[in-house]
Copies of this chain bind each other. A is one copy, B any other.
Amino acid sequence: MSRTRVHNFSVSLDGFGTGEDLSLKEPFGHAGHRLHEWLMATRSFHRMQGAEGGSLGVDHAFADQHGPDIGAEIMGAGKFGPPGWQDDPDWTGWWGPNPPFHTPTFVLTHRPRPSVELEGGTTFHFLDATPADALARAREAAQGQDVRIGGGPTVVRAFLAAGLIDQLHLVIVPILLGRGVRLWDGLEGLEQRYSVESVTTPSGVTHMTFTR
């Protein structure tokens, strides 16, 4: 049975999944890399960058769940590029010629464009669709494997609100961003539909899994 999964989704203690003032130079705005330091220290992340080294502890074990059994990803327009990327016909994402997705990857945008095939198995498709319709398309492309919802916070929230997420791996980072894009608005009672576990790791973050 194909499942819909979120992995390595970091939020600040005050609930922001990304900062304010996102730009080409600052993809996470004033948050910088502070939400992802725990991830960038892991072997899993190093390997994804084609680099050696990295930690092999609990943070790595969680981070490494990101890839297996995924047959497609859905991401929001805000993850694919900085504000205004829709005006640049040559923009193909932040990730260079060989993006770390290696599957069909669906970008939700109100201004769709033709699909772009890059190296390593990543093809970006652009959809103006509801979460449910986008998921149906991605599930078909995943050919029986799971679909990852890749963020950002607006997209994760929309899929949670629509009841479409089977498995959510959330990472609470003990910083207060004060401003940015909130994950939690409008999700009252969400925990009642899931089995929830939490664990704090030596890096100081708290991993939470919501599973159904």
Within 8 A of B (CB), among A154-212: 172, 174-179, 184-191, 196-200, 204-206, 208
Contact of A178 with B174 at beta-carbon distance under 8 Å, contacts A200-B198, A204-B196, A206-B200 already known: no
A117 within 8 A of B: no
Contact of A174 with B198 at beta-carbon distance under 8 Å, contacts A15-B14, A206-B206 already known: yes
Please determine whether B184 and A196 come into contact, CB atoms closer than 8 angstroms: no
How long is the Cα–Cα vector from A33 to B196 in the complex, in angstroms?
19
How many A residues are at the interface, by size bracket?
Answer: 20 to 34
Which of chain B's residues have a CB closer than 8 A to the CB of A179? 188
Please determine whether A186 and B178 come into contact, CB atoms closer than 8 angstroms: yes
Residue A188 contacts which of B178, B187, B188, B206 (CB distance < 8 angstroms)? B178
- Each complex incorporates copies of this chain amounting to 2
Q: 10 extra interchain contacts, Cβ-Cβ under 8 A, other than A13-B184, A172-B172, A176-B189?
A: A14-B184, A14-B185, A15-B184, A174-B191, A176-B191, A178-B186, A178-B188, A178-B189, A198-B204, A200-B206
Smallest CB gap from A160: residue in B: B176
Binding site for B on A (CB under 8 A): 13-15, 172, 174-179, 184-191, 196-200, 204-206, 208
Contact of A188 with B176 at beta-carbon distance under 8 Å, contacts A15-B14, A200-B198, A204-B196 already known: yes
Which of chain B's residues have a CB closer than 8 A to the CB of A15? 14-15, 184
How long is the Cα–Cα vector from A125 to B186 in the complex, in angstroms?
39
Which of chain B's residues have a CB closer than 8 A to the CB of A177? 188
Which of chain B's residues have a CB closer than 8 A to the CB of A176? 184, 187-191
Smallest CB gap from A177: residue in B: B188
Which of chain B's residues have a CB closer than 8 A to the CB of A205? 198
